[in-house]
Amino acid sequence: MTDMTETLTPPADAARSAGETLLEVTDLAVEFRSDDGAVRAVDGLSYRVEAGRTLALVGESGCGKSVSSLAVMGLLPPTAHVVGGTARYRGTDLLALSPTQHRAHCGTHVAMVFQDALAALNPVHTVGYQLTESLRARTGTSRRDARRRAIELLDLVKVPNAAQRVDEYPHQFSGGMRQRVMIASALALDPDVLIADEPTTALDVTVQAQVLRLLAEIQAERQMGLVLITHDLGVVAGVADDVTVMYAGRAVEQAPVRDLYAAPAHPYTRALLRSVPRIGVAEDRTTGGRLPVVPGRPPAPGRVPPGCSFHPRCELAQDVCRTDEPPLAEVAPGRSSACHFAAELLGGARA
């Protein structure tokens, strides 16, 4: 293991100390401009990624979790624009950089793993080529060294028989192996922060667990900051250190993972947690053995209701929720919630 970290970790400047803040997103707002006017996909999102810790961004489809990470990477589609906020990588605001400067940070400092590994690997290039393309382009590594490095990377993500598979094409790999290749290619330049956008959605359950464990291992070993985007709270429990729950473009609850699972401080989080299937628990529920769901659908972007955006689906909704928007406020040390009744929720759980 020491051998491998030596070969894979570039010299001193990339050293990371645990707890150091690597990426800090503050008040990020992203708008899509269409003929019907501007639509806010992300509205005042803030989070912080520290070295050696994993932050999970959790939410339903369309809540802005992917858009926010694309904004950080400078990969927003042409119709979307960042309209406010900063994303500081070690003090440098990535969003204020020119596209060329921003690009220089992508891959080297902040890298991303995509959801569908088959689509995210180019079918006409060998796996080895794709793993080290960035390396060769940036550092002028020779073909031979790049190939050796590609094999190391495949070993790192535990692709068996790396020396042979490095010359194969993506379609010759299984789904889980492709996702491993995606992770390896994101690690090629040893980034400080890795953003994984639903890395396990396209995989079956057993492979999901393997890939997540791998991500967690690599993250711990290299003291990277990991942003794990997912809609699956079951995934979060085993891997994340901190959780940010998003709803309709905003963070509604931020907490360390244990606290969040022990006592959710927002009714949305609570509803999400209840809807995670668990063996042996469903039977004794009052719902008669059926898995509870969050009623209704998330609001379409641009049609977010006034007041608390979650109130139409919330079981605790009162009149105040329909008119006043609750701010994201600290409700206990280290955790915050955007709910008028966060204190009651926490108190009720303790009682």
Partner 1 sequence: MPEPTAATTTPDAPPTDASVSLGGDAWRRLRRRPDVIVSAAVVVFFAVMAAFPLLFTSTDPQRCIIGDSKTRPQGLGAAHPLGTDVHGCDMLAQLVHGARPSLMLAFVVVGASVVIGVVLGLLAGFYLGWVDTVVSRTVEVFLVIPLLLAALLLLSLFRNVRVGSGAFDVILLPALVLTLFGWMGYARYVRAATLEAKNLDYVTAARALGASDLRVMVRHVLPNAIGPVTALVPTAIAGVISAEAVLAFLGIGVRPPAISWGIMITNGAEWVTGGYPYLLLFPLGCLILTVLALVVLGDALRDALDPRLR
Binding site for partner 1 (CB under 8 A): 1-4, 7, 73, 75, 103-108, 111-112, 114-116, 119-126, 128-129, 133-134, 137-138, 143-144, 147-148, 151-152, 155-156, 158, 162-163, 166-167, 169, 171, 182, 185-186, 188-189, 217
In the complex, minimum distance from the CB of residue 132 to partner 1, in angstroms, rounded to a whole number: 11
Min CB(40)–partner 1 separation in Å = 22
Q: For residues 174 and 318, which CB has a smaller minimum distance to partner 1 in the complex?
A: 174
Three-state DSSP at 289 gives: coil
Distances (CA, A) of 251 to 53, 57, 255: 19, 9, 11
Query: 97 to each of 84, 125, 153, how far by Cα in Å?
Result: 14, 31, 30
Which C-beta is closer to partner 1: that of 116 or that of 325? 116
Nearest distance in Å: CB 41, partner 1: 17
Q: Which is nearer to partner 1, 133 or 259 (CB)?
A: 133
In the Cβ-directed half-sphere of 61, how many Cα atoms lie within 13 Å? 2
**Nearest distance, CB of residue 343 and partner 1, angstroms:** 41
Shortest Å, Cβ 136 to partner 1 = 11
* C-beta closer to partner 1: residue 117 or 248: 117
The answer to whether 282 touches 349, Cβ cutoff 8 Å, is: no
Nearer to partner 1, 34 or 101 (CB): 101
Minimum distance of partner 1 from residue 168's CB (angstroms): 9
Q: Residue 87: beta bridge partners?
A: 25
Give the max Cα distance, the chain.
68
Sign of CA dihedral 127, 132, 136, 142: negative
| 103/278 with CB nearer partner 1 | 103
CA–CA gap between residue 173 and residue 179 (Å, rounded): 9
Nearest to partner 1 of 225, 298 (CB atom): 225
Shorter beta-carbon distance to partner 1: residue 224 or 342? 224
Contact between 26 and 85 under an 8 Å Cβ cutoff? The reply is: yes
**Token pair 């995509």 is at which residue?**
114
Q: Which amino acid, 315?
A: E
CA 338 to chain centre: 20
Residue 128 CB, nearest approach to partner 1 (Å): 6
CA distance 173 to 180: 10
**Computed from CA positions of residues 171, 166, 130, 182, in that sequence, does the dihedral angle turn out positive or negative?**
positive
152 HSE (CA, 13 A, CB side): 19
- As measured in angstroms, the least distance from the Cβ of 126 to partner 1 is 5
The distance of closest approach from Cβ of residue 341 to partner 1 in the complex, given in angstroms and rounded to an integer, is 40
DSSP 8-state class, residue 30: E
- Of 221, 109, 218, the closest CA to residue 157 belongs to 218
Report the residue number, 49 or 342, with the smaller CB distance to partner 1: 49
